[in-house]
Amino acid sequence: MTLRETFPLDPRKVMKKTISESIGYIWIIGFLAVMASAMAGSYLLLLVIPLVPIAVYLWQREYYKVYFYDMTEHGLEIKKGVFFPNSITIPAEKVSDVYVDQDLLDQFFGLYDLHFSSASQSSGNLSHIDGLGKGALDSLKSYLLSSLKSENAGPVGPKPSNLAQPGMGGQQGMEGSAAVQPGIIATFKPAPVGLWLDYAGLLIGFTLMSVFIFWPLLIGFPLVAIVLWVYNKKDFASRTYSLRPDGLWLKEGWINPKETMIFYKNVQDIDIVQGPFERLAGLYTLRVKSMSYLSAVASHLRLLSADDSKKVQELLRQQLESARLGNMPGQSGMQFSGTIDQEKGAGSTGGQAQGAGQSQGIPLMKSMASGSHPLIPGYDGGLLAKPFKNRFLAGNLASSAILIGMVFFATLCLVAASFIFSKALLIFAGIGSAICLLLAIFALITGYVDLATYSYSIGREGLAIELGLIARMKKVIRYEKIQDIQISTGFVESFLGLSTLYVETGSKDMIGSDSSKQQFATSATLTERIPYLSYADSKAMRSKLLGIIGLEYPKNQTSLRQEIPLSPSKPLKKTVAYAGMFALQLFISLLIIGAFTKGIAATVAFAGCALLFLYFLSAIIVYLYERVYMQKYFYDMNEDSLVIRKGVFGWSEIIVPFKNIQSIYVDQDWYDVGFDLWDVWITTVTQESGPMAHIDGVSREDAERLVKALAASVEKSRKN
C-alpha cells in the first residue's frame, strides 16, 4: 500500500478548500457580474455567483482524488494537479526541515498541513501534504521521520498497516508508531520578560499604524490593548523549543499553530542575535538555519535568557558533533561523559529535561581542550581571534568614493557653469561640496564604529563572526558546512589593495519580519564575510580555512586554463551582445523613418541614429575591455577543488570543493549559437556563487572535455 492509502487525506479537506478558495472567486466574479449586469440592464448574470462554490467544490473533489504521495527507493514522492499535474521527488538525505501548521479553517475542520523542505526554493511550494487529520498526521509524521533520519536513507520497508486512520484521535493514532517517537533531551521556553517585550512591540505597532493610516483608531486603544494582551499571552505561552536525538523541534502559534523540525545533520550555521530592546532586557534569539527557505522563517528560538541561550548553544554543539561523527563510516556516534543538571520546578523558563515523564541529565561531550580537532586534521585546536587586521577606514572611504566622486564632478560642473550663466550656481556648488564632506565624514564614522564592533575568530566550533553596534549578531560557521570561499574586490578597492573574503554555507536568510515568508536574502550576508582585508591577508586567511577543511589551492604546473582555453571569439561575441540586435534593428528602423519622412519626424529619427551610432562606437572600448578580461580570466583545479578568477579592475576569485558540486551543465544563449560558443556551469547549494561558478566562452569540444574532467573529479572526491 502507498502512503496515500495508508495515511489518507481527510475528506473534510474538500469542503475546507472549497470555502477558502470560493471567497476570493466570489468577490472577483461577483464584481464582474454586477458590472456586466448594470451595463446590460439585466441582472440574470448574478445567477452565476451561486455556481462559483459548486464549480470550486467539483474541482477540489477531483484534486482530492488525484492527490498522491508515497515513499519510494528514490525518496518522498508527491503528485498534485488535475489538468496541469505536477510532481516532486525529494531524496531522503536531502530533506532539511519538517514543518506542521494550521490556518483558521484548518482548526475549524481539524486539519493539518505537513511540509518538507530541501535546499531548493521550489520544494517549499510543492513538497507539502495538506489536509491530514490529527491521527493520520501523527502517524505519517512519525513514519516519515523514521525513514528520513538516516542521511543515506535507502529503500524503506512495507508501510505499516496497523496505524490508526484519520478521525480516530491523536493518542490512538500514535499507538502504532510509538517505537519511532523521539525522546526529548531538553525543552526550553522564552524568558518571562520576553512577554512584555512582545506586548510593547504590538502596542507600538498599533499606535504607529493608527497615527499614519487612520488616527481615530486610537479611540479604541484601551480595548485593543486588552485584546492584544490576551492574544500575546496565549501566543507567547505556545512557544516551546525542544532538542531531541534526531533534530531540533520548535512549536509556536496560538491562532495558527506551527511545529518545525530541523535535522541536526542539515544545520549549516547558527546566528546569535540581539536587537536593541533584547540587549536592554538581556535576551537572545538563536537562528538555527539549514539550506532551506523554511528554516529562515521558522527556526528562530526567540527571547531566550542568557543562561538558556548558553545551554542551547552547548547542547546544539554536542548534537551537531554527534550527528557529524555518527555519519562518518565506522562511527556510531560521539561518546559523551558527565551531565548537566537542568533546572526543575514550576515556573522555570528553560532547560527542563524530559523523557517518558521523567527528568534526565544532559550528556556532555568529552573535553577536548587540547590536541587536534577529530574532524579537522589541519587545525590544532587553538583560538585565533582576528588573525588579520580589517582596514575599515580605507575600505569605507573606498566604498563611498564613487558616490563622492559623482557629487564632486557635479560640483565642478556647477562652478564652471557659474562663470557662464549665473553666480547663483555657486550656492549649489557649495551645497555639493558640503555633501562630499558629509559623505566622507560619515564613511569615517562608520569605519570607526566597525573597528570597535566587528570581530571574527577561528575556533574549534567554526569560524565565528560578530558585528553590530545597537543590535548585535554573531554567526558560527561550522567548517564542514563551508560550501565555497570567495575573494572579491571592487574597482576602487583594487587600487588600495583591499579585498573581502566570503565564506558561503548555503543557509538561507530572511529580510524583514518573521511573518514575511517571501522576502529572502541568500547567503551573502554581512555575517558571512570578512571585509576589507589586504589582498595578502585575504589569501592567508583563505589558506588557513582551506587547511582546516583539508583542501589546497590548485598549484598545477600547467593550469586548466591553458589545457582547455577560452575561444578567441569570446571577446567579439561579448561585444556583439553589448551592441545588441535590438539596437541594430532600432538603428535601421530610424534610418528608414528619417529617409522617408520630413520635418520634425525626420529630425528626431536622424538624431536617434546619431546617438545609436555613438553607442556602436563605444563597442570598440567594450571589445578592448573584453580582450583584457579574457587575458585575466583564470581557472584551475586539483584533486579537491576548482578555482575560478574573473575581472579587470575589480575582480573575484572563488574556490569550490568538488564534494560540494551538485550538478554540471552546459548551455548557450543566442549569441553563443552564432559564434559556436558554450558555457559550462557548476551548481552548489549556494546562490551567490552562481555568477562566479561558470566558465563561459569555450568551444564545443573543449566544453565536452571540461565537463568530463569536472565530473570525474566530483565522482572521485565523493568516493574519497
Q: How far is the C-alpha of 285 from the C-alpha of 473, rounded, in Å?
A: 9
Domain chopping of the chain, boundaries: 3-180, 392-548, 560-719
Question: What pLDDT was estimated at residue 461?
Answer: 76
Beta bridge partners of 188: 241
531-583, pLDDT tens digit by residue? 999 999 999 999 999 888 888 888 766 688 888 999 999 999 998 888 876 67
Q: What number is the average pLDDT over the span 95-112? A: 81
Q: What number is the average pLDDT over the span 53-82? A: 85
Of 21-30, 143-152, 435-444, minimum mean pLDDT range: 143-152
Helix or strand (DSSP H, E) at 252: strand 247-252
Comparing CA positions, the residue from 605, 610, 487, 495 lying closest to residue 538 is: 487
CA dihedral 341, 344, 349, 353 (to 10 degrees): 60
Q: Taking the CA atoms of 413, 416, 421 and 426 in sequence, report the sign of the dihedral they define.
A: positive
Comparing CA positions, the residue from 333, 335, 336, 337 lying closest to residue 323 is: 333
Comparison of pLDDT for 637 and 365, the residue scoring more: 637
CB 286 within 8 A of CB 270: yes
189-231, pLDDT tens digit by residue? 999 999 999 999 899 988 888 888 777 778 888 898 999 999 9
Q: How far is the C-alpha of 143 from the C-alpha of 597, rounded, in Å?
A: 76
367-379, pLDDT tens digit by residue? 333 334 444 444 4
* Cell of residue 131, nine digits: 489536509
Tell me if the pTM is above 0.75: no
252-275, pLDDT tens digit by residue? 888 878 888 888 877 887 888 888
CB 249 within 8 A of CB 263: no
CA-CA distances (angstroms) from residue 471 to 428, 512, 703? 37, 14, 48
450-484, pLDDT tens digit by residue? 999 999 998 877 888 988 888 888 888 888 888 88
3-state class (DSSP) for residue 347: coil
pLDDT at 248 over 50: yes
CA-CA distances (angstroms) from residue 712 to 117, 508, 639, 715? 30, 30, 10, 5
CB 143 within 8 A of CB 58: no
Q: How far is the C-alpha of 453 from the C-alpha of 449, rounded, in Å?
A: 6
Q: What number is the average pLDDT over the span 44-58? A: 82
How many residues belong to the chain?
Answer: 720
Q: Are strands 247-252 and 258-263 parallel, antiparallel or unpaired?
A: antiparallel
CATH number corresponding to 560-719: 2.30.29
Question: What pLDDT was estimated at residue 354?
Answer: 38
Q: In this structure, what DSSP letter does residue 111 have?
A: -
pLDDT at 511 over 80: no
Work out the burial of residue 613: count CB atoms within 10 Å of its CB; fewer than 13 is exposed, 13-18 middle, 19 or more buried. Answer: exposed
pLDDT at 524 over 70: no
CA-CA distances (angstroms) from residue 643 to 70, 630, 712? 41, 16, 16
Residue 287: CB atoms within 10 A of its CB come to: 20
Average pLDDT for the chain? 78
